[in-house]
């Protein structure tokens, strides 16, 4: 008989709740799986810098608009 795999638990310091299938497949950018209560980055003190990533994405996607100069008649 094969040993059963232990259920994964929420790595938040005071939680330790067993993760269900949905929770264990939802992985944060900091590469941890949290329970539904601590899933959001504000709830578990995420180390990933979302603000810098957003700024990089915006600077890459925005195109500088240069208009044509008006000719003097």
- Tens digit of pLDDT for each residue in 33-53? 989 898 888 888 888 999 999
- Whether the CB-CB separation of 34 and 10 falls below 8 Å is answered with yes
Q: Which residue numbers in the chain have pLDDT < 50? A: none
Q: What's the whole-model pTM score?
A: 0.62
pLDDT at 1: 61
């Amino acid at each position: 008989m094969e040993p059963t795999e232990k259920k994964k638990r929420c790595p938040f310091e005071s939680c330790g709740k067993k993760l269900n299938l949905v929770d264990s497949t939802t992985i944060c950018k900091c590469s941890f799986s949290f329970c539904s209560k601590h899933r959001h980055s504000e709830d578990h003190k995420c180390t990933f810098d979302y603000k810098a990533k957003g700024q990089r994405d915006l600077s890459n996607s925005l195109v500088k608009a240069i208009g044509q100069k008006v000719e003097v008649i």
